[in-house]
Structure 1
Amino acid sequence: MKHTFPDLPLAPRFAGLPATFHSQVRSTPLPQARLVAWNTGLAEELGLDPDPAHHAHLAQLLGGNAALAGYPQLASVYSGHQFGVWAGQLGDGRAMLLAEIATPQGIRELQLKGAGQTPYSRHADGRAVLRSSIREYLCSEAMHALGIPTTRALALVSSPQPVRRETIETAAVVTRVAPSFLRFGHFEHFYHRAQHDALRTLADWAITHFFAGCQDAANPYAALLQAVTARTAALIAQWQAVGFCHGVMNSDNMSLLGLTLDYGPFGFMDGFDAGHICNHSDTHGRYAYDEQPHIGLWNLQCLAQALLPLTGQAAAVEALQSYEAHFHAAFGEALRRKLGLLAWREADWTLAAGLMELMQAAHTDWTIGWRALSTLPAHGPAPDALRDLFLDRAGFDAWTAAYQARLVDEGNLDDRARAARMDAANPKYVLRNHLAAQVIQAAEQGDYAPLVRLHDCLAQPFDDAPQYQEYAALPPDWAATLSVSCSS
């Protein structure tokens, strides 16, 4: 049975927690709310009718102009560290739970981002703008198609209501979907307030609903920290593999479930630069590409500190010490697949590092460079189109010889089969900033067709789709002038 919004199968879980954890709120009406994007594929996955026309008053519900009967709109409270500094109480300042529903994949939370002020807005307007909402709508679904754990985006509602950021923009609301939006910062909040009973209640709730395997451990809370450490390490390894930079890895933006959460000043790298900073607001490069693995551990240390009353110090330290091994295992596996190898050996770290040094020297486009590598045969010279991506041709030829020797050593000589495996690991299409900028510019003029088209392309990032070839091209020169910040 396909459900429509008036008859959603409500399944409150978070709403059943005491009022200590959240506040009931009412969304702020959005004038002239208009549904401009609807994720048909996700709707079907959720057990919803894929035709938006079959949902009564959909734009009004998803724009925050109406509430669902039987479920209170909620905003949750949390705290966190921002740019390495304790920021105190934060919370859902522009997001609120619309509902928790039962789906074929399990219970999912539907959250409106940009639906108005909450008790945690800290004097902000609680709104999101069309620009940032489009970026989140596109990127969360692009990440899902890449196989990277993430929140999802079901719908986008726009409005001509003016919103002030650096300039006057227009408002929008994204409907976000996840099993839970629980963050490291939720636990930090209760630890730093010495509310240890609430901390235990929240940890028990998380274990019951998302980490059931921890329940039978000698120390379930230490097992929880171990599990979150493993998930976080694996997530960041996947970010590194596709050249994704989150941009604002504050502890309150870290998902307990290991999901990519809160799409703001993110960016996929164009030309490779290990020190790439995607967030114009990050003046010291704290969240640069090559810092992301370290920051993942730093944030886990914040979570571990918050859980100390439950885990004890020795168990917390043991969990944190597992991070490096988890990250290297996950990143090594990602590199193995990207290089088309049949098995990963310790010496392959040197092979991979050598390629990335060549890419760094030439600022080789990360996505195009890795994708083109599948054209390299096990015997013979590299194609000119591949060699031309590197300034140091002699250096690349030497690397090619080492790579081919590695292929021969493991008997990996079927060029066609290896190329297919590599193309399934190295995307052809990612959400480059200039592509998002073009879609945003069209949407601001009332044309949402480019948004739908790019969304459809990003849903199949590994396919060699002739109709989307322009999305796989090198970025234009003007792309280098684009800047994203924390207001994105």
Structure 2
Amino acid sequence: MTIEIGWKLDNSYVNNLPELFFTKVNPTPVSSPKMVILNYPLIRYLGLNVQTLQSNEGVAIFAGNKIPEGAMPLAQAYAGHQFGHFTMLGDGRAVLIGEQITPLGERYDIQLKGSGRTPYSRGGDGRAALGPMLREYIISEAMHNFGIPTTRSLAVVTTGESIARETRLPGAILARVASSHLRVGTFQYAAKWGTVEDIRILSDYTIKRHFSYIEDDENPYLSLLKEVIKRQAALIAKWQLIGFIHGVMNTDNMTISGETIDYGPCAFMDTYDPATVFSSIDIHGRYAYGNQPNIAAWNLARFAETLLPLLDENQERGVKLAQDAISDFGKLYHRNWLTGMRAKLGIFNEESEDGSLVEDLLNIMQKYRADYTNTFVALTFEKLEDSSLFSTDEFLKWHRRWKDRLSRQQESNNSSQQLMKNSNPSIIPRNHRVEEALEAAVKQGDYSVLERLLDALSNPYDYSIKQADYSTPPEPSDRPYRTFCGT
């Protein structure tokens, strides 16, 4: 029966890395699992059979009650700087089942999150609550639809068991898909508790898996550092352009592949403010929206430190190579961000004053507490009656500058508008609509609200009628919106 599902599992992580990096462990079975959501397009892309995965066998696999043929389950070891403090970590509530080889020959990790205790659980129960797992499903799929590199969600099952948090909550397991779960923290773990040879083996494996085109470079380890920097510069720029706030940018939550990972206390910004923080545990604003590029650079510097023994036999030269590479992050990030901002404003070519044009708009938006997403939508369609911002002298002056800027390019107004439509989503996962969907699912067992939200988010650049209801910001409140890790 498992052959019909379409599993084509490989296990390169366990077959190529020393046991320092993992512990073989099976998921802990649960009492009465039930499928609550399946990602049909992703199932097909992975080469799996939808009908079989909908059956009891599919439920049993996603619940950890049955191990698919070819799987070699394991928990990965890694470390991390959590809010700046270094500690040993690891998969405390997740098990990597194996790596699915798709019909296109691509390799994706299949991981069960919330599947029970592992040797890295650090006193935790290894379980997850339904709300946070559904939240990760919603946000990760939205990110994918925005065109932002991300881990994805394959399925969520309830376990039939409750778990203890502040209260008793229904338990759930998320099946997560990633091009890999290699993290900056994986390299930190090797540097702290392994040998230089362990770092080399890990680096060689990473290059082969994600960056095979640099294998023959003169200094492949320096090339590895530069490639990770490039991918993160592109990723963080995309976060900023969409108004996404990760909330917990610890080094264990930065992937080497350049994918967004771990959607714990994440949220999307409504009112534009660089100081926006949603996470309940980020009391000092370390991971605020405006700080994300700087934190990414800090995390990448920690990654560079782990590679120093490989960069050059001479430590001083190795440090210089690492510093030069890290110093490029700011320039790469800003280039990506400004290119994206030009697109959001319908600008095709480059002029030296574009940066100030963008910054001046953002400053006006911050001053008048304008909605980030809706402001760009209004500019796209010239619907400038939708906000008090648009009647201010500052904005009217800026608007004339913007129109003058658009006139200095060859592309037509229609082309500019199409570029803006392709760059400015009409819908984001508004925090109050996400909470509405989660509350209906968790408290009432009603998944229809969640399904409608996912349907609206399936094409965020569609500007369809069904998306209109989801574009309204939340009502003003004296209580700031807060998110929680769900651990």
TM over 0.5: yes
Letter in 1 for 2:372: W
Are the aligned partners of 2:364 and 2:395 in contact in 1 as well (CA < 8 Å)?
A: yes
What is residue 380 of structure 1 aligned with on the other side? none
Which of the residues 338, 343, 363 maps onto 2:344? 338
Distance 1:481 1:325, change over 3 A: closer
Partner Cα separation in structure 2 for residue 335 and residue 82 of structure 1: 31
What is residue 420 of structure 2 aligned with on the other side? 422
Q: Deviations over 1:192-241 (max 9, x none)?
A: 12521111110000011111122111111010000000101110000000
TM-score by length of 2: 0.94
Q: Deviations over 1:160-196 (max 9, x none)?
A: 4111222221111111001101000000011112521
Distance 1:480 1:454, change over 3 A: farther
Distance 1:480 1:472, change over 3 A: farther
**Residue 86 of structure 1: SS of its match in structure 2?**
strand
Q: Deviations over 1:438-479 (max 9, x none)?
A: 111111111112222211221111111212321112223459
CA shift, 1:67, in A, is 1.2
What is residue 78 of structure 1 aligned with on the other side? 78
**Residue 298 of structure 2: SS of its match in structure 1?**
helix
Distance 1:27 1:247, change over 3 A: same
What is residue 100 of structure 1 aligned with on the other side? 99
Are the aligned partners of 1:111 and 1:177 in contact in 2 as well (CA < 8 Å)?
A: yes
Partner Cα separation in structure 1 for residue 41 and residue 391 of structure 2: 44
Q: Does 1:294 align with 2:294?
A: yes
CA shift, 1:349, in A, is 0.4
Q: Does 1:449 align with 2:445?
A: no
Distance 1:222 1:271, change over 3 A: same
Q: Does 1:191 align with 2:191?
A: yes
Partner Cα separation in structure 1 for residue 456 and residue 69 of structure 2: 36
Equivalence map 1:327-366=2 (5 Å): 327-366=333-372
**Residue 35 of structure 1: SS of its match in structure 2?**
strand
What is residue 432 of structure 1 aligned with on the other side? 430
Partner Cα separation in structure 2 for residue 103 and residue 479 of structure 1: 49
CA shift, 1:346, in A, is 2.4
Q: Does 1:209 align with 2:209?
A: yes
Equivalence map 1:50-449=2 (5 Å): 50-51=50-51, 55=55, 57-87=57-87, 89-105=88-104, 106-311=106-311, 312-376=318-382, 383-386=383-386, 388-390=387-389, 393-412=392-411, 414-444=412-442, 445-449=444-448
**Residue 410 of structure 1: SS of its match in structure 2?**
coil
Partner Cα separation in structure 1 for residue 335 and residue 216 of structure 2: 26
Are the aligned partners of 1:362 and 1:391 in contact in 2 as well (CA < 8 Å)?
A: no
Compare 445-454 and 141-150 and name the one that shifted more.
Answer: 445-454
**Residue 424 of structure 1: SS of its match in structure 2?**
helix
Are the aligned partners of 1:33 and 1:159 in contact in 2 as well (CA < 8 Å)?
A: yes
Q: Deviations over 1:6-36 (max 9, x none)?
A: x411222112123221111121122221110
Q: How many residues align?
A: 477
Partner Cα separation in structure 2 for residue 389 and residue 194 of structure 1: 58
Partner Cα separation in structure 1 for residue 401 and residue 169 of structure 2: 53
Of all paired residues, the percent bearing the same amino acid is 38
Letter in 2 for 1:357: N
Are the aligned partners of 1:93 and 1:126 in contact in 2 as well (CA < 8 Å)?
A: yes
Partner Cα separation in structure 1 for residue 220 and residue 53 of structure 2: 46
**Residue 255 of structure 2: SS of its match in structure 1?**
coil
Partner Cα separation in structure 1 for residue 261 and residue 464 of structure 2: 29
Partner Cα separation in structure 1 for residue 479 and residue 102 of structure 2: 42
Are the aligned partners of 2:107 and 2:179 in contact in 1 as well (CA < 8 Å)?
A: yes
Are the aligned partners of 2:128 and 2:486 in contact in 1 as well (CA < 8 Å)?
A: no
Letter in 2 for 1:361: K
Partner Cα separation in structure 2 for residue 246 and residue 421 of structure 1: 26
Partner Cα separation in structure 2 for residue 436 and residue 479 of structure 1: 20
Partner Cα separation in structure 1 for residue 11 and residue 32 of structure 2: 30
Distance 1:160 1:55, change over 3 A: closer
CA shift, 1:345, in A, is 2.2
Are the aligned partners of 1:47 and 1:103 in contact in 2 as well (CA < 8 Å)?
A: yes
The unaligned stretches of length 5 or more in structure 1 are 377-382
Are the aligned partners of 1:231 and 1:258 in contact in 2 as well (CA < 8 Å)?
A: yes
Compare 451-460 and 264-273 and name the one that shifted more.
Answer: 451-460
TM-score by length of 1: 0.94
**Residue 57 of structure 1: SS of its match in structure 2?**
helix
Superposition RMSD in Å = 1.7
Are the aligned partners of 1:3 and 1:48 in contact in 2 as well (CA < 8 Å)?
A: no
CA shift, 1:85, in A, is 1.2
Are the aligned partners of 1:99 and 1:110 in contact in 2 as well (CA < 8 Å)?
A: yes
Q: Deviations over 1:237-296 (max 9, x none)?
A: 000000000000000110001100111100100111111012121011000000000000
Distance 1:479 1:204, change over 3 A: farther
Compare 475-484 and 324-333 and name the one that shifted more.
Answer: 475-484
**Residue 363 of structure 1: SS of its match in structure 2?**
coil
